[in-house]
Structure 1
Amino acid sequence: MMTTANRRRRRLAAVAVALAALSGLLVQVAVGASASVPATPTGWSLVWSDDFNGSANTLPSSNNWIIDTGHAYPGGPGNWGTGEIQNYTSSTSNLSLDGSGNLRITPLRSSSGEWTSARVETRRADFKPADGRILRIESRIQMPNVTGNAALGYWPAFWALGAPYRGNYWNWPGIGEFDIMENVNGINSVWGVLHCGVNPGGPCNETTGLAANRACPGSTCQAAYHTYRFEWDRSVSPNQLRWSVDGQQFHSVNQSQFDATTWSNMTGHAGYFLLLNVAMGGAFPDALAGQTPTAATVPGRPMMVDYVAVWQSGGGGTDPTNPPGGVDARSTIQAERYQAQSGTIVETTTDSGGGQNVGAITNGDWLRYDGVDFGTTAATQFRARVASGAGAAVSGLIQVRLDSPTATPIGDFALGNTGGWQSWRTVPANVSGVTGTHTVYLTFSSGQPADFVNVNWITFSTT
């Protein structure tokens, strides 16, 4: 049970977090003038981005990225399940910012013949379009500038994996994989691939997947930067998945190609996390060139990444820090992404997808989210991802209010102990029909002066 002294220390920590967040905001504003992420298109909202600004020979932001190391996930299939041979490291020789706004992933070969390289994945694992919206995932990348025999075994990729893969590692391909950009052996071509269903065979023809490829427009994929984009469109029926390079679509699939179970397993979970890596050798390059890499393969040719960004349709505006439409009410709103709060802290979560949650919440605390856009179709349900390790006699209400922390709640639900502060469950509640754009307050009410809930995320829907 938390003592008053412990709680006071957590409150002081919350102040430090808030100051750090403010400091980070100031840094972001200062950097923003030279940032390379494109302006948010009108009618869209920026969900997440990284422009890789920072000092040369430093690692990418640990707030945004997890660095994978070794030859496998702990307890997962060897050689990352693909037969690739390299050892992934966190060395800045393999993974670093270049000081000019790019991420550099460089495969190297040691004097003993061991290949090393790098692989990173986003901490967030909830990239998914709200119902009726389009999610756009995009990166500007120059593939390793190497061709011919010197390129045999190079396998750069920008891709996404379904969130349930984290911590399981044996549920592929059912949870879904979107390969936004794949390339092997220095060929002037980009492959877009969907993996799903069962292995082998199934509706996605595993292990090959449903694939298409084309040459990069204009300059080769290796000689210049190109923009690789994937769109998950829930605004049309049947839903569509689309791949493009430099704005030119070259691959698409739609929901009607799959049975309901396959589509649900691939799209019905919390969302996806994004990955960037350069593998060496493995099933794909070997299938086109025999055993790779070879003695002729040249090390030291990096994949260069200018930015990664995720947008969602329906937000509106060109200023990602304050779009007129704000955040989409039907998206997954991470609890820690509030604009203001009272009495809470931010801490690391073990919930699926990782990241952070808001904690130390007790009677009278609140969280504020500005510019939440409910659109013209009334939202009638609220869902929150919550956990509680409160004592047996401690419980409270999670309340939703609009535009004022003292307004009459439009909906609420009660919560007691869920089995622990990281024992998560998703709880629904009805809310009065809401349209338009509002400031949303989460307020917390309890008859006991003790912490009673942690919150990971919230969302609104019509059903």
Structure 2
Amino acid sequence: MGITYARRAAAVVSAVVALAATLALPGSAGRAEAAIGAITWQDEFNAPAGAPVDRSRWRFDIGGGGWGNNERQYYTDSTSNAAHDGQGNLVITARRENPGNYQCHYGRCEYTSARLLTAATFTQAYGRFEARIKIPRGQGIWPAFWMLGNDMGSVGWPNAGEIDIMENIGREPNTVYGTIHGPGYSGGGGITGSRTIGQPLADGFHTYRVDWEPNSIVWYLDGVEYHRVDPGRLGGNRWVFDHPFFMILNVAVGGNWPGYPDATTQFPQQMLVDYVRVSGYTSGGNPPGASAIRGAHSGRCIDIPGADPVDGAKLQIWDCNGTAAQAWTFASDGTIRAMGKCMDPAWAGTANGTEVNLVTCNGNPAQRFTLNAAGDLVNLSANRCVDVRDWNPNNGGKLQLWDCSGGANQKWSRV
């Protein structure tokens, strides 16, 4: 899927399918699954029949501009296109319309549908992303459960990255596709895998999932692995899957890849979603040598807020939870790293009160720290200690540099 950019041109469809066929093999026996923690976000869709989606969890993309793929639907936020069924499901409905109500890129829209996303409500880097879905069917029908990088607005597609957890096109009713897109491997060049089963996927509910960890994404259908990618698969292109992503659920009608509805396609078509669940990524799969850094005063660990490794994230203390946001590696260059970035005094500051943040590793000596035998976590440039501001022992207490005093709020240990 895509937002306002070409995704799969018709000329490369056969190449995509051929590539998918070569990748549609189960994972090797004995490969360890990612270390998955507690659920961090979920929607069980248990509202009464006809109720709209929970706007604290989902928002809508709206419009009929073709979405870069020459799609034919207009996406609305109407309950006629997205609502609960009262039986524990979200229902996304694609309808044939009398042209005239909405304007699409090709004229008056023939179809409406819905596209839900969490860009404004929830993002996460790494973990398990899973949904139990009964997909729609028919020529030209294109359901998807997928993700985009949260920096779409600043770097655009495909630099932000795209992870397609589930896609199906109606003319291949038994086949699920899983794909990544990034710079140099977008559109028809996406890294694609598939699995084909013995009956149409639309005949019942199936679970579609990815387990995503640093340098690895693995796809599953009903708990069975069918596709796996890592940076070595990219032919030297850049891996762009080390930052938070948001989720999308939609049903498209038509487009370059699936083709268009024909006389065999029946409407309305519905995608039923039983649940969407996201789990955290734990230290069990963290980089070798990674450890938490626990404070003696609070008993809590140095943490990246929201597991969002954005430049300038203000480091804090939080209940030790074994997630990637607390998995710190003491590198040979003197930096302390987590989620691909470095512990850093704001603006290379050396004064008392300088915030301790997370910033892209840049080789500046200001990013060098050491944890000495006395338990002092010392910034070498400032010769000051990492300190919990105001002796705050609670979740969310912020870190700063301060003269080393020997106080318990400056004492740390690797655990």
3-state DSSP class of the match of 2:128? strand
- TM-score for both structures, normalised by structure 1: 0.55
CA distance change for structure 1 residues 328 and 101 in 2, over 3 Å: closer, same or farther?
farther
CA contact (8 A) 1:66 1:121 kept: yes
Which amino acid is the alignment partner of residue 209 of structure 1?
Answer: G
1:282 equivalent to 2:261? Answer no
TM-score, normalised on structure 2? 0.61
Q: Is the 8 A contact 1:380 1:431 kept in 2?
A: no
Task: Provide, for residues 107-136 of structure 1, a one-character-per-residue CA deviation record: whole Å limited to 9, x for no partner.
Answer: 00113372000001113463213xxxxx21
The aligned counterpart of 2:216 is 240
Offset of residue 161 of structure 1: 0.9
* Equivalent in the alignment of 1:442: 397
- The letter for the 2-side match of 1:185 is G
Cα distance change of structure 1 residues 55 and 307 upon mapping to structure 2, 3 Å threshold: same
What corresponds to 2:135 in structure 1? Answer: 143
Correspondence for 2:115: 119
Quick one: distance in 1 between partners of 2:394 and 2:235? 40
Matches within 5 A, 1:35-434: 44-71=37-64, 78-112=65-99, 114-122=110-118, 123-124=120-121, 126-129=123-126, 135-144=127-136, 146=137, 151-166=138-153, 171-185=156-170, 187-198=173-184, 204=185, 206-216=187-197, 220-234=200-214, 239-258=215-234, 262-263=238-239, 266-268=240-242, 270-286=243-259, 292-314=260-282, 332-333=305-306, 369-373=318-322, 374=326, 431=386
- Find the residue that maps to 1:160 and give its secondary structure: strand
Taking structure 1 as reference, are residues 100 and 109 closer, same or farther at Cα in structure 2, changes over 3 Å only? same
Contact 2:329 2:336 in 1 (8 A): no
CA distance in 2, matches of 1:377, 1:398: 20
Secondary structure of the corresponding residue to residue 63 of structure 1: coil
Deviations 1:341-393 (A, max 9, x none): xxxxxxxxxxx9xxxx99xxxxxxxx985455446978957869x9xxxxxxx
The one-letter code of the counterpart of 1:440 is N
Secondary structure of the equivalent of 1:222?
Answer: helix
Report the CA distance shift for 1:50/1:329 in structure 2 as closer, same or farther (over 3 A).
farther
Offset of residue 173 of structure 1 = 1.8
Q: Verify the 8 A CA contact 1:329 1:372 in the aligned structure 2.
A: no
* Alignment CA distance shift 1:305-1:430 (3 Å): farther
Q: C-alpha displacement at 1:166, in angstroms?
A: 3.3
AA of the residue aligned to 2:249: L
Show CA shifts across 1:405-427 (max 9, x none): xxxx9899xxxxxxxxxxxxxxx
Amino acid at match of 2:123: D
Gaps of 5+ in 2: 1-33, 100-108, 285-299, 347-352, 358-375, 401-413
Per-residue deviation, 1:152: 1.2
Deviation track 1:234-274 (CA, whole Å, cap 9, x = no partner) reads 2xxxx2221110111111121112366511xx124x32111
Give 2:134's aligned amino acid: Q
User: 1:349 maps to which residue?
Assistant: none
Measure how far apart 1:220 and its partner are.
3.2
**Does the CA-based 8 Å contact 2:302-2:318 persist in structure 1?**
no
Aligned length: 299
SS at match of 1:166: helix
The 1:259/1:174 distance shift into structure 2, 3 A limit, reads: farther
Contact in 1 for aligned 2:114/2:251 (Cα 8 Å) = yes
CA displacement 1:291-349 (0-9 Å, x = unmatched) = x1224321112101111111123279xxxxxxxxxx996554279xxxxxxxxxxxxxx
Paired AA for residue 135 in structure 2: M
TM-superposed deviation, 1:206: 3.5
> 2:23: which partner in 1?
none
Alpha-carbon contact 1:371-1:439 (below 8 Å) kept: no
Change (3 A) 1:58 1:334: farther
Instruction: Give the drift of 1:59.
Output: 1.7
CA contact (8 A) 1:57 1:99 kept: yes
For residues 43 and 206 of structure 1, what CA distance do their matches in structure 2 show?
A: 30
Q: Structure 1 residues 120 and 383 mapped into 2: Cα distance closer, same or farther (>3 Å)? A: farther
**CA displacement at 1:57 relative to structure 2:** 1.1
SS, match of residue 284 in structure 1: coil
Q: In structure 2, do the counterparts of structure 1 residues 103 and 272 end up closer, same or farther at CA, with 3 Å as the change threshold? A: same
- Secondary structure of residue in 2 paired with 1:252: strand
* Alpha-carbon separation, structure 2, partners of 1:83 and 1:328: 49
Q: Following superposition, which runs of at least 4 residues in structure 1 exceed 6 angstroms of deviation? A: 375-379, 381-384, 409-412
Q: CA deviation at 1:47?
A: 2.2
Q: Given that residues 174 and 199 in structure 2 are in contact (C-alpha distance below 8 angstroms), is that contact kept between their aligned partners in structure 1?
A: no
Give the secondary structure class of the aligned counterpart of 1:197.
Answer: coil
Contact kept? 2:36, 2:128, Cα under 8 Å: no
